[in-house]
Amino acid sequence: MNKKNILIQLVIVIAIILVANLLSNELYFRLDFTEDDRYTFSKATEEVIDELNGVVTITAYFSEDLPPQLMKTRQDFMDQLVEYETLSDGNIVFEFVNPNENEDEERNAQQNGISPVMINVRERDQVQQMRAYLGAVLKMDDRTELIPVIQPGAAMEYSLTTALKKVSIADKPKVGFVQGYGEPRLQAVPQLMEQLSVLYDVEPFRLKDTSSVPSYYKSLVWVAPKDSIQPMEFRKIDQYLNQGGGLFLAHEHVQGDLQQGLLSTNTDIGIKNWLARKGLQFQDQMVVDAQCATVSVQQRNGFMVMTSQKEFPYFPQLNNFPDHPITEGIETVMLPFTAPLTFTQADTSWSQIPLIYSSENSGVVGLPSYVDIQKKWTQADFPSGSQMLAAGLDKGIAKIVAVSNGQFVVNGEGQRPQQLNADNVNLASNAIDWIADDTGLINLRTKGITSRPLEEVEDSTKALIKYGNVLAPILMLLIYAFIRKQQLNRRRQKWMQGNYES
């Protein structure tokens, strides 16, 4: 091959590379093989971007010279912003700023609400701390929204899209959080409030202090009422429902006191009979489920106290969901101390929608009863099959969602509120979105893998799997050794016959 041909081929290769790069800028796409489609924009994101009626400016405050794992976060965030900008046709613009570069930039970042976080950096075999910025500010007109910290490995699409939704909505619809009957305050449900604040203005609403429920509420949220409710209050709610309102109700019909070991039915405060007239009935029982969470149990052994984890069937881990927008993408919900729900034909004008069932290995316990924390549970304790624990009622103009537990979205108040299972909060948020006819963020909210509980198997199957894992490799090794021995014997026989071909 002469020099001329080599030069021509080199020019052709370079031309192909240049053309491919130009086409990739115009015809950008990527294939996403992840199970949760984490690199594919959801329909909700596309709708939020399409609905932008102005320009959103995103300023990403990221330090440079970050550790490798945080540099990857910075690059992933930049790639995400490029895609948002491309999809928005000019309605989203962004820039990256390094606040560590000078004092003016650092002061500007902090004035915009982005504070540094302390991270450990290893240099020359020494660990040093570094002030790093990993946040972003979104601005549209006179509205501002913050993403204080971009967490490594976090769902960036959800953070960005919800921030875009917040900053682009000038007047959010209202949701009333019913108060006045012993319910937890709004401060006791911070995770739920954080999610609802994307789409709604949530405000406390005292039902007993008004003559009627304002029609501007897209939904009422009623969590864990404890005090008796007068019939006239229920008439206010019925009037609101008849005008097109909706209600999300999380009610504790039964309770468990672990200190006294007592399981009992709560005094009816009026909700049981009110719901029963609409065709949804609380049962005076408690559900136990073989698919359950664990509790810590202390046992004394001589002078030592040992703590162990023990499965507790009164804390069902639920992943049996009928197909419905409310439960789309939800993987596991935990509802401790829960009564079963059943549908009746008391009012056929309401369509009946089952939402959550316990597993097939479930049972019910009559009340009152006592908890035996040391009980050895067997399959015979779960003969009742799946039990319905959450349900919806749909009348066309009105919707109700009832969950047979009042505490599943309550973090509590004080210095150390508990962190809830994310899908517990997702369930409540999705239900309120469905009631308010705004299901745009449901798919995005539950996007991503949160848990993969193992399926329940019989004890005999467990034993088969256990011994199979031990014996299968040994058996495969013996089979391989036998085959190799047979091959060597055949080769030796050929050699003895003077055949030296391999």
400-427 residues labelled b (16+ CB within 10 A) or e (exposed): bbbbbbbbbbbbeeeeeeeebbbbbbbb
Burial class of residue 291 in the structure, from the number of CB atoms within 10 Å of its CB (0-12 exposed, 13-18 middle, 19+ buried): buried
pLDDT digits (tens, 9 = 90+) for 300-351: 666 677 788 889 999 999 999 999 999 988 999 999 999 999 999 999 999 9
Nearest in space to 220 (alpha carbons), one of 266, 356, 353, 229:
229
| Predicted pLDDT at 183 | 96
| Predicted pLDDT at 440 | 65
- Reduced to 3 states (helix: H, G, I; strand: E, B; else coil), residue 174 is strand
Give bridge partners of residue 390 from the DSSP assignment.
356, 403
- Reduced to 3 states (helix: H, G, I; strand: E, B; else coil), residue 162 is helix
Q: What pTM value is reported for the model?
A: 0.76
Residue 368 CA: distances (Å) to CA of 226, 255, 429: 19, 10, 33
Which segments in the chain show pLDDT lower than 50? Answer: 449
| Predicted pLDDT at 287 | 97
181 Cβ contact partners less than 8 Å away, ≥ 6 residues apart = 207, 208, 225, 226, 227, 228, 229, 269
| Predicted pLDDT at 378 | 92
Three-state SS annotation for 403-424: ECCCCCCCCCCCCCCCCCCHHH
| Predicted pLDDT at 298 | 74
